[in-house]
């Protein structure tokens, strides 16, 4: 009888695993085949040629991002003899859905996650070799996949390091990596990134986009801004070319279409991003296709998505900085939210000091400096009811204070009330005020609470009840 129970138990476990795998595959398929209209293709300026004397640094949040976003650039840099390096923030070890499809088994063990990170590292080496780069040109840091934004926001100085949710790892576990044993703290990433910058001394940097929906992609862009600011006396500010990977409903159509261009996402067409494109030769495009396929652990579950980036061109573009001067009243000039159907992207059409047209049915956010305080005005859209709320990130930078000591402020509003967090702790600072009107919300945050910053990295998400409605990606506000 006991043997029968054992057999039945094994069968139940087997069927449960099969069901989980099928459900995960369906989720992946639905998420990557999200229906949306094809993007229009306005004229995009061409990327300036890479020269032999250039020093190029590709910053990739995960192994495969460098290939998806920059395989053409990598090949061109190799062709002209430029100095080029690729640095990986994480080993991509927490893509559990892809792991299940690739390994055909379900596991939550610590060693299996590390194994997945090692698999992706080997895939990156293979892909870069195909594109002409030696392993000595690759730098693996090995920080936690899906954890680096939390580190940027909440894990600095004497606090306990970040721990991954499933494995409870709190330091870099890869012996081959530059950062082996480094605790999962913001200082670790910042110091390693500065070390990479000082070693490579790049004049051109390609990095993940601040409007990318993946949190590691946002985090790498933010860490880069801080690292370059810390090194402004030692390293001339390089040209920065953000590349976009994760964006709802883009690119379409899915799968491999080498005959098609890669257009800017339609939700960014009214933004102030000055897009640039690098046009790939037929040989470069074919090698990019082959390099994507080197990531077998990812393509077995999502080849139709990854290969959709193997097109005739690659896209790069960043937002301009917002320049703020002290003034007496709020201006009507504003940034525009993206459309509600693409809530994690940014369609800013104007900045303070430059008139921007509003878009019908979309909210707006405006920034202003009054009485040594930052004012943020957020207009409600027609779809937002009285349960309108926001989440606001404010990360100040000062060249007089180490960034680890600067306040990392997050403000969460609910109706006409708000809570303020500094890192992981809720605080009750004086001077912050909220005014909720019928059509807008106004927050006032004294610069003192932000550490008297030289600039602020800020992002806003809006909610109607518990449902996210819209967002503006991270922008840099310079305080004059």
Q: What is the pLDDT of residue 467?
A: 76
Q: How many CB atoms lie within 10 A of CB 460?
A: 25
Q: What is the pLDDT of residue 170?
A: 95
Q: Can you give the pTM of this predicted structure?
A: 0.86
Q: Six-digit token pair at 414?
A: 């609910």
Burial class (CB in 10 A: 0-12, 13-18, 19+), 385: exposed
Alpha carbon 43 to chain centroid distance? 26
Give, in order, the Cα–Cα distances in Å from 137 to each of 57, 74, 86, 182.
Answer: 10, 11, 6, 21
Q: What is the mean pLDDT of residues 1-16?
A: 40
Beta-bridge partner residues of 76: none
d(CA 21, CA 17): 6
Highest mean pLDDT out of 306-320, 329-343, 387-401: 306-320
Mean pLDDT taken over the chain: 83
Which range (27-36, 71-80, 89-98) has the least confidence?
A: 27-36
Q: What is the pLDDT of residue 346?
A: 34
Q: Are 171 and 181 in contact (CB under 8 A)?
A: yes
Grouping H, G, I as helix, E, B as strand and the rest as coil, residue 177 is: coil
Burial class (CB in 10 A: 0-12, 13-18, 19+), 13: exposed
Query: Residue 90: which pLDDT band, with cuts at 50, 70 and 90?
Result: very high
Beta-bridge partner residues of 458: 394, 475
Counted residue by residue, the chain has a size of: 480
What φ, ψ does residue 365 adopt, rounded to 5°? -130, 135
Q: Is it the case that residue 340 has pLDDT exceeding 50? A: no
**Bridge-based pairing state of the strands 138-143 and 83-90:** parallel
What φ, ψ does residue 458 adopt, rounded to 5°? -140, 150
d(CA 211, CA 347): 10
Q: What is the pLDDT of residue 386?
A: 60
Q: What is the mean pLDDT of residues 160-174?
A: 91
What φ, ψ does residue 473 adopt, rounded to 5°? -70, 175
d(CA 77, CA 133): 10
Q: What is the pLDDT of residue 354?
A: 28
CB contact burial 106-117 (16+ within 10 A = b; e otherwise): bbeeeebbbebb
Query: Residue 207: which pLDDT band, with cuts at 50, 70 and 90?
Result: very high
Q: Torsion-angle region of residue 344: left (phi > 0), alpha (psi -120 to 50) or beta?
A: alpha
Work out the widest C-alpha separation in the chain, in whole angstroms: 83
Q: Is it the case that residue 381 has pLDDT exceeding 90? A: no
CA distance from start to end of the chain: 79
Tokens 């990479």 locate to 196
Structural domains for the chain? 33-316 (3.40.50.10320), 322-479 (2.60.40)
């Amino acid at each position: 009888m006991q043997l029968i129970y054992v057999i039945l138990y094994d069968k139940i476990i087997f069927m449960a695993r099969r069901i989980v795998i099928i459900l995960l595959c369906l989720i992946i398929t639905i998420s990557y085949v999200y229906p949306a209209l094809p993007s229009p293709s306005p004229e995009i300026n061409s990327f300036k040629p890479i020269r032999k004397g250039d020093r190029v640094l590709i910053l990739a949040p995960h192994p495969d991002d460098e290939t998806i976003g920059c395989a053409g650039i990598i090949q061109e840099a190799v062709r002209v003899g430029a100095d080029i390096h690729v640095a990986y923030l994480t080993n991509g070890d927490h893509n559990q859905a892809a792991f299940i499809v690739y390994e055909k088994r379900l596991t939550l063990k610590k060693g299996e996650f590390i194994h997945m990170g090692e698999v992706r590292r080997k895939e990156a080496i293979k892909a870069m070799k195909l594109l002409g780069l030696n392993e000595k040109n690759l730098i693996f840091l090995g920080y936690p996949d899906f954890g680096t934004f939390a580190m940027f926001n909440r894990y600095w100085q004497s606090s306990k390091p970040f721990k991954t949710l499933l494995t409870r790892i709190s330091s870099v576990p890869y012996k081959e990596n530059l950062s082996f044993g480094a605790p999962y703290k913001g200082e670790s990433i910042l110091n390693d990134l500065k070390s990479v910058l000082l070693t490579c001394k790049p004049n051109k940097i390609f990095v993940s986009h601040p409007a990318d929906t993946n949190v590691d992609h946002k985090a790498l862009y933010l860490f880069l801004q801080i690292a370059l600011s810390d090194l402004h006396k030692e390293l001339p500010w390089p040209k920065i070319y953000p590349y976009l990977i994760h964006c709802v409903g883009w690119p379409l159509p899915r799968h491999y279409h080498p005959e098609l261009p890669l257009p800017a996402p339609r939700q960014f067409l009214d933004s102030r991003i000055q897009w640039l494109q690098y046009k790939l030769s037929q040989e470069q495009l074919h090698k990019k296709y082959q390099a994507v396929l080197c990531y077998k652990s990812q393509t077995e579950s999502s080849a139709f998505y990854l290969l959709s980036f193997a097109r005739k061109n690659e896209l790069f573009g960043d937002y301009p900085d917002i320049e703020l001067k002290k003034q007496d009243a709020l201006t009507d000039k504003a940034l525009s939210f993206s459309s509600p159907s693409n809530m994690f992207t940014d369609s800013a059409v104007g900045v303070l000091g430059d008139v921007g047209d509003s878009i019908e049915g979309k909210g707006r956010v405006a920034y202003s400096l009054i009485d040594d305080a930052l004012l943020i005005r957020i207009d409600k859209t027609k779809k937002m009811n009285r349960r309108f709320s926001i989440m606001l990130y404010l990360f100040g930078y000062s060249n007089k204070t180490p960034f680890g000591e600067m306040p990392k402020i997050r403000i969460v509003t609910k109706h006409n009330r708000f809570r303020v967090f500094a890192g992981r702790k809720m605080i009750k600072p004086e001077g912050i005020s909220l005014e909720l009107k019928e059509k807008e919300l106004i927050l006032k945050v004294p610069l003192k609470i932000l550490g008297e910053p030289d600039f602020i990295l800020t992002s806003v998400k809006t909610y109607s009840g518990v449902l996210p409605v819209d967002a503006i990606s991270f922008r840099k506000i310079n305080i004059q």
